[in-house]
Amino acid sequence: DTAVSQTPKYLVTQMGNDKSIKCEQNLGHDTMYWYKQDSKKFLKIMFSYNNKELIINETVPNRFSPKSPDKAHLNLHINSLELGDSAVYFCASRDSSINSPLHFGNGTRLTVT
């Protein structure tokens, strides 16, 4: 199936640990995003990559480091996890060469205990 897929779906970990969330899209898109959805359901952009280059970097702690090995993948690595990092993280992609919609993955629910 053509889609944006992210793994894992659920992630439960303790404070201080380091974890990664992976995202892959097979839609041939050149731009990928990470969004964070907090407990109040608000969706906020964190990062965006276009053809492996960082183009959007919101005010996010530098414990969060995105990595794009190729334009089909955008992974999110989080160091020294804190309680406040608990949220749902969504990956998305689009074709930036035309006015096209964003396609979202199903989200990763991160719980830090």
Partner 1 sequence: GIQVEQSPPDLILQEGANSTLRCNFSDSVNNLQWFHQNPWGQLINLFYIPSGTKQNGRLSATTVATERYSLLYISSSQTTDSGVYFCAVVRTSGSRLTFGEGTQLTVNP
Q: Which chain residues interact with partner 1 by CB under 8 A?
A: 31, 33, 41-45, 48, 50, 55-56, 88, 90, 92, 96, 99-104, 106-107, 109
Cα distance between residue 103 and residue 25, in whole Å: 9
Minimal distance, residue 45 CB to partner 1, in Å: 5
Nearest in space to 50 (alpha carbons), one of 32, 75, 28 = 32
Minimal distance, residue 56 CB to partner 1, in Å: 6
Q: Tally helices (H) and strands (E) across the chain.
A: 0, 11
Minimal distance, residue 24 CB to partner 1, in Å: 17
Q: Hey, how many other C-beta atoms are within 10 angstroms of the C-beta on 72?
A: 17
CB proximity list for 88: less than 8 A, separation 6 or greater = 36, 37, 107, 108, 109, 110
Minimal distance, residue 80 CB to partner 1, in Å: 26
**Site of tokens 């439960």:** 12
